[in-house]
Structure 1
Amino acid sequence: MEINDLTPAESRVRRAFASGTAVDFRTADPNAATADDPADGGTWGPERTVRARVLRSLLLDGPREDGEVPVLSLSGARVTGRLELQNATVDHPVRLRHCHFEETPTFHAARLRELNLSESVLPGLISHAVRVDGVLRLTRTRFAGTVRLSGAEVTGSLYLESARVEAPDTEGPVLQLNQAVLGADLWAPGLRAVGEVRLTGARVAGTVNLNDAVLDRPGGTALNAETLAAEADVVMRRADVRGRLELRGARIPGRLDLSHARLANAGDTALRASSCVIGELWLREGPVVRGSLNLRRTQVDVLFLQPEVVPARVQLNDLTYTSLIPHEPAERRLPMLERGNGYLPFTYEQLTASYRRIGDDDAARLVQLAKQRRRRRTLPWYGRLWGHLQDLTVGYGFRPVRAGGWLVSLLAVGSVAYGLHHPPALKPEEAPDFDPVFYTLDLLLPVISFGQETAFSPGGWYQTLAHVLIITGWLLATTVITGLTRTVSRQ
């Protein structure tokens, strides 16, 4: 390219590049701010138009001044043609802010020192397998097409705060970050994406920040982050996800924070975080999840789950958690276990363990009682009949007070019956005085003996009553003793 081929605007950029000086074509008049909107950059005249091939020539073989670091720093320009830097090595920072690109730039497999396209407007970006030895800034950048950063390697952070990606004619993901490797954070609060955002297999050494993001793909996958590995947190406070939030197989040692988030994918899965390993999962202070919640085979240290946000359908089989907060009565937690696919004993055991861990043995017994009642519905009719009898009489052994009440009632019945009709003594000359109360206690209590049962022998109907008292006494006394044992061991 000859120097005399350059326009005045391009000549200014060339001179500034050699000395590392920034060029800003924007107007200084605050009343003309709308004229500087890059969305209207197609109307900008030649005084602020730069050809993409001029920029490429500067980056690959531009002039240098002794003692200066060349930098391409350009603001408020209209870039015509395609900026093609695929497979190139660029040793200079590239800062093209507040610019309007007529064609999609290509940085495929390029190696760059720094790339900053903040607040620019582009028809898309092709930068898969790019390597940036620094930071990649796309702050408040607007894209009208696909952003391809799959396989990108950024030694610093990737900034996408308040960026917008809209590609209405694209069937695949509109923002591709699959297999990307970031040496610091993925910083994207306020991101707006119409279409799928793909983060499958990405590795982030810091935090993934998607606070206040709007991810819009109703009926499909809004965020696909399968096998994502973030070494710190994934925060999505106040995020609005319209479509599936896919996190299967993710590894998040810190916090997955979905506080105040709106998750909606009616008729399908709204959040799938199965087979994950997560330090803390926060799902709270937001509206009820619209769609199903899938946490199967996931390991969580702290599960912060408010009953108010749990949807009508959840999948919790093989979910393990160390602690469940906030502390809620068992009656508020149990409906969640009824919304899965069939009877899952493990979910009841997990909830029981969480209550026992904090010393709430009463709630733990309620969960175990609910488990038996849920299991009863899976049994044949005779099993259900026996289950109802156990529930009514002793609460499956988790209602020791009720068992004690039955013992007292049977003691009263036996005392009255044998008080009205004394059974004959086996050896009248050796038998003690008959006492109907202690005789009934001898029948009911399997361990304690007052010497009455062995000395007297009822007959007929009274013998049948004695057998009934012995059998029921064993069952009820065992229930009472078990309940007392739990209380003593807890204390």
Structure 2
Amino acid sequence: MEINDLTPAEQRVWRAFATGTAVDLRDTGADDRAPERTVRARVLRALLLNGPHEPGEIAAVKLAGAYVTGVLDLRYATVDSVVRLSQCHFDTAPDLSGAQLKYLNLSDSVLPGLSAARVRVDGSLRLTGCRIDGSVHLGGSQIAGALFLERARLVAAEPELPVLRLSQITVEDDLCAPGLHTEGGIRLGGARVAGSVNLEDARLSHPGGTALDAESLDVGTNVLGRRLRAEGRIDLRGARIPGRLDLLRTTLSNPGNTALRASSVVIGELWLREGPRITGRLNLRRAQIEQLDLEPEMLPDEVRILDLTYTFLTPHEPVERRLPMLVRDGTTYDPHGYEQLTAAYRRSGDDHAARRVQLAKQRRHRSTLSWYGRLWGHVQDAAVGYGFRPLRAFAWLLSLLAVGSVAFALDRPPALKPAEAPEFNPVFFALDLLVPVISFGQEAAYAPEGWSQWLSYVLVLAGWILATTILAGVTRTVSRQ
């Protein structure tokens, strides 16, 4: 391309290329689409592929404020110079599919879309503050630096299509997108980010659909989503986040469907608190979390936690505030959930709360039994609280002992062999009836009659029931230890 064929604006860009001098066409004072600010895309392409070079200088396109017409077509091209097209207005979506670039900066530009699948960037890729009315396709790309999407606004041209495609992308640094605003779905499935993913203050909108599809996402450190607002599902199934998934003060909404799906994930810390109640379903099934920082107020009506595993549960809350989480799962009875909560309380040193969780577990299990199983369960619960309230057995024993002692003192049973019988003691006689196996010699020497005989039967039966329930409770305690 001859320089004589260029417009004055294009000539400025052409001359500045060899030395990497910045050109700002806004200094012309013309409107953004005026001829003084118009640069043809094919001129930029010619510069990037065959532009002039000067020894000892680093060639670069550093252009601001241009109105770029036509398609910037760099498909499968190798560009050895820096590309910075900031605050530019593109009338057609650039196509960079399969290209190899040193560095690409499109900050604060306006585009109708961007096709850059399988692009390779040796440095960073900046889309900071961009306004894009169409899809951005970066699937399968490899970025040696960071990917910047801060304050970018992306609106899907067709609601059923994703507005941002990052599937299988590899980012060797951070994915920085605080303040990102999308209207349409984001695909991040299978992506690998060596650093962190920052979505703080982002607004993701795809009502009724998937706002963020990040299945099998592999992150080197953290996923930061403080003050994130999402309309639609966030899907993190199978993600690997060794640091923390920070969802403090987030607003998650997907009425009638799943709002957050983090099943089968492996996460160091999950922070889910200080935000409004989740609208929709929370799915943490089969997740492995080292520290679960969960505020009960954020939990929705439906919580799926089957086979959820966690080591620590914070903040420390009373049992009454944690147990509802275990009954909001669709499963009838999940003993694993109760065991996890019990273990968490024990690690924090609250054995009383741990026993209460185990008692709630037995009561929940009772509802799944047959009628005779439920009946025996009620007996164990009333007698000793399934072994978790041993003092209740002592109270029952004292009460029955007092009743028997008074009754037998008022109506002394006759001796079977008066000459050989020991002196009658109503307290030890009642105790002989109540306590199985142990004998004080009273029961074998005296035979109550009439109503006192029926009372003795009741005491013997009550004693066996009490002993059996105590033994069952002790057995459960020993097995847990």
Answer yes or no: is the 8 Å Cα contact 2:143–2:172 preserved in 1.
yes
The answer for the alignment partner of 2:23 in structure 1 is 23
Aligned counterparts, 1:47-126, within 5 A: 47-126=36-115
Q: Deviations over 1:189-219 (max 9, x none)?
A: 0000000011000000010000011000011
Q: Does the CA-based 8 Å contact 1:404-1:476 persist in structure 2? A: no
**TM-fit CA distance, 1:18:** 0.4
Question: Displacement of 1:316 after TM fit?
Answer: 0.7
Offset from partner CA, 1:433-474 (integer Å, 9 cap, x none): 211112222322346543433443434544443343233224
| Amino acid aligned to 2:5 | D
The whole-number CA distance in structure 2 between the counterparts of 1:165 and 1:403 is 67
Distance 1:119 1:25 in 2: 15
Q: TM-score, with normalisation over the residues of structure 2?
A: 0.94
Q: Residue 285 of structure 2: which of 264, 277, 296 is its match?
A: 296
Query: Structure 2 CA distance, aligned partners of 1:3 and 1:376?
Result: 87
Q: Which secondary structure does the structure 1 equivalent of 2:204 belong to?
A: strand
Q: Which residue of 2 aligns with 1:415?
A: 405
How far apart, CA to CA, are the structure 2 residues paired with 1:404 and 1:13? 93
Q: What is the rounded CA distance, in whole Å, between the counterparts of 1:257 and 1:451 in structure 2? A: 69
What amino acid is the match of 2:177?
A
Q: Which residue of 1 aligns with 2:333?
A: 343
Counterpart CA distance in 2 for 1:486 and 1:384 is 18
Distance 1:201 1:456 in 2: 82
- Show the counterpart of 1:137: 126
Q: Which amino acid aligns with 1:161?
A: E
Moved more, 93-102 or 408-417: 408-417
Residue 18 of structure 2 aligns to a residue whose secondary structure is helix
Distance across 2 between alignment mates of 1:488 and 1:421: 42
1:314 Cα deviation after fit: 0.7
Overall identity of the aligned pairs, in %: 64
Structure 1 residue 372 corresponds to structure 2 residue 362: yes
Q: Aligned residues, how many? A: 480
1:465-486: CA deviations, max 9, x gaps?
Answer: 3343233224435656887999
TM-fit CA distance, 1:418: 1.4
Residue of structure 2 equivalent to 1:391: 381
The residue type paired with residue 74 of structure 1 is: L
> Do the aligned residues in 2 keep the contact of 1:168 with 1:194 (CA within 8 Å)?
no
Task: Give the SS at the match of 1:242.
Answer: strand
Which 5+ residue runs of structure 2 have no aligned equivalent? none
Q: C-alpha separation between the residues in 1 aligned to 2:136 and 2:359? A: 54
Partner of 1:246: 235
- In 1, Cα distance between the equivalents of 2:250 and 2:353? 29
Residues 43-69 of structure 1: per-residue CA shift (max 9 Å, x gap): x21111111001001110100112101
Q: Measure how far apart 1:426 and its partner are.
A: 4.3
Q: Could you say if the C-alpha distance between residues 315 and 489 of structure 1 is closer, same or farther in structure 2, counting changes exceeding 3 Å? A: closer
TM-score for the superposition, normalised by structure 1? 0.92
Please state how far the C-alpha of 1:244 moved relative to its aligned partner. 0.3
Structure 1, residues 144-182: CA drift from partner, whole Å, max 9, x if none?
A: 100000001001110101111002424221100000000
Is residue 146–residue 170 contact of structure 1 (8 Å, CA) maintained in 2? no
User: Do 1:292 and 1:311's aligned partners in 2 also have CA atoms closer than 8 Å?
Assistant: yes
**Corresponding residue to 1:325 among 301, 310, 314:** 314
Give the counterpart of 2:424 among 419, 434, 437: 434
Kindly indicate whether the alpha-carbon contact (under 8 Å) linking 2:201 and 2:226 is maintained by their aligned counterparts in 1: yes
Secondary structure, aligned partner of 1:317: coil
Measure the CA separation in 2 of the matches of 1:150 and 1:161: 19
Contact 1:401 1:480 in 2 (8 A): no
Tell me how far apart the structure 1 counterparts of residues 191 and 308 of structure 2 sit (CA, whole Å).
Answer: 24
Which residue pairs with 1:180 in the alignment?
169
Deviation at 1:407, TM superposition (A): 1.4
CA contact (8 A) 2:386 2:473 kept: no
Residues 3-58 of structure 1: CA deviation (Å, up to 9, x unaligned): 21111111111111101111111239xxx8xx88xxxx3xx211111110010011
Change (3 A) 1:195 1:489: closer
Code of the aligned partner of 2:174: D
Q: Which of 425, 443, 449 matches 1:453?
A: 443
Contact 1:359–1:490, Cα closer than 8 Å, also in 2: no
Matches within 5 A, 1:258-277: 258-277=247-266
SS in 1 for 2:382: helix
- Report if the CA contact (8 A) 2:383-2:469 is conserved: no
> For residues 331-386 of structure 1, what are the alpha-carbon distances to aligned partners after superposition, in whole Å with 9 as ceiling and x for unaligned?
11111111111222221121112112222222122212222222232233343333
- What do you get for the CA RMSD once the two structures are aligned? 2.3
- Larger CA deviation: 315-324 vs 373-382: 373-382
Q: Secondary structure at the match of 2:227?
A: coil
Amino acid of the residue matched to residue 445 of structure 1?
Answer: V
The answer to which of 402-411 and 463-472 deviates more is 463-472
Matches within 5 A, 1:122-201: 122-201=111-190
